Amino acid sequence: MRFHLMPVALLGLTAALAGCALPPPAARPESALPANALRADAGRVGVAMSPAPRADTEFPGAGRLWCLAVASIAHGPLTDHVRTLSPHDLPTLKDRAAALLRARGAEPVILPEPLELRALAFAASDAADAPDAAPRQDFRPLKSRHQIDKLLVIDIESLGVARRYSRCVADGEPQVVFNGAIYLVDLKTNALEWHHAVRLAQPGDANWDEWPKYPHLDAAFFKTLQMGKEELLRPLR
């Protein structure tokens, strides 16, 4: 089934479109995991994860309001379907990461509640002249709160389906996207000891638009989700 745009009134559509775009990935420095960062003498290492994002659609390139309206309306059934996809097992990444830390000799402490990164204060060292010197957030208050020395953060920033646009015209077929990062923070200094980003964009096949259940797109979504989870944990093995 191909989608065709029908004439509709666009008044008030701006607010509705806000839910159709995935947030851009945060820019952070990439680094290698230090060999001694997670040894037995590294102290207690907290393992935290940000709240799992909702699967959604995005249309990069359709930046103007009218073009974004065209893309969003044309793909309304697709968006509705993608939002029903539930990555329900994402929180188990904390347990898997903790097991990998334990195998390295570290003492992991799983933080049970989702870590709301936006609720943390900004780090004083996050200055314009040295934006990569430390994480944007100040994680140091978590040291005494959880009796930990370091913090391993798993942050899945966005996942879903993206279709690139050239203004108001679709440019290619949809892709399943997964954007996330895992990083280690020294809670004594708030220094970023290690950071590993995962950016996946996997194309679906020619039968992606089999409305209403989208079986081929679903298969690509869960395959990409699994790839993203494994790639996040790969450096800890």
Non-local (6+) Cβ contacts of 130 within 8 A are none
Read off the amino acid at residue 80: D
Give the β-pairing of 107-110 and 44-49: parallel
H or E stretch covering 169: strand 169-170
DSSP-assigned beta bridge partners for residue 137: 122
pLDDT at 44 over 90: yes
pLDDT at 232 over 90: yes
Determine the Cα–Cα distance for residues 144 and 161; give it in Å rounded to an integer.
40
Contact 188, 143 (CB under 8 A): yes
Helix (H, G, I), strand (E, B), or coil: what is residue 33? Answer: coil
Q: What pLDDT does 134 receive? A: 55
pLDDT at 16 over 70: no
Among 156, 137, 170, smallest CA distance to 2 is for: 170
Helix (H, G, I), strand (E, B), or coil: what is residue 120? Answer: coil
Give the β-pairing of 150-162 and 56-58: parallel
Decide: residue 67, CB within 10 A, 0-12 exposed, 13-18 middle, 19+ buried: middle
Of 84-88, 105-109, 123-127, 131-135, the least confident:
131-135
Among 44, 42, 37, 40, smallest CA distance to 145 is for: 44
Domain spans in the chain, listed from the N-terminal domain onward:
35-236
Mean pLDDT throughout 66-95? Answer: 93
